[in-house]
Amino acid sequence: MIQADDKSWNVRDKHMLDTLNLLLEHYGPESKGIVWAHNTNIGDYRATSMKIRGEVNIGGLAREQYGEENVGLV
């Protein structure tokens, strides 16, 4: 189980978002991306106990940055 003081979870998911941002920037303003990730990473941390533990994930971070209507979960 990941503890609140274990930063590796947050570092990994923030890195995933940073990588997505770099790729979208590289391919231009009309580009779109697909992220293949485990359901724990693409869900929305804000609606789970992850938030209580101080954890984030790429799903929630992307929704915050790009807007709920621009991020989908398949």
DSSP conformational letter for 2? -
Q: Report d(CA 4, CA 47) in Å as an integer.
A: 17
Q: What is the pLDDT of residues 7-36, one digit of tens each?
A: 788 999 999 999 999 999 999 999 999 999
63 in Cβ contact with 17 (< 8 Å)? no
Question: Would you tell me the crossing angle of helices 58-66 and 8-27 to the nearest 10 degrees?
Answer: 40
User: Domain residues of the chain, as ranges?
Assistant: 8-70
pLDDT in tens, 35-73: 999 988 988 999 899 999 899 999 999 999 999 999 998
| pTM: predicted TM-score of the whole model, two decimal places | 0.84
**How far out from the chain centre does Cα 21 lie?**
11
Q: Find out whether 61 and 50 touch, Cβ atoms under 8 Å.
A: no
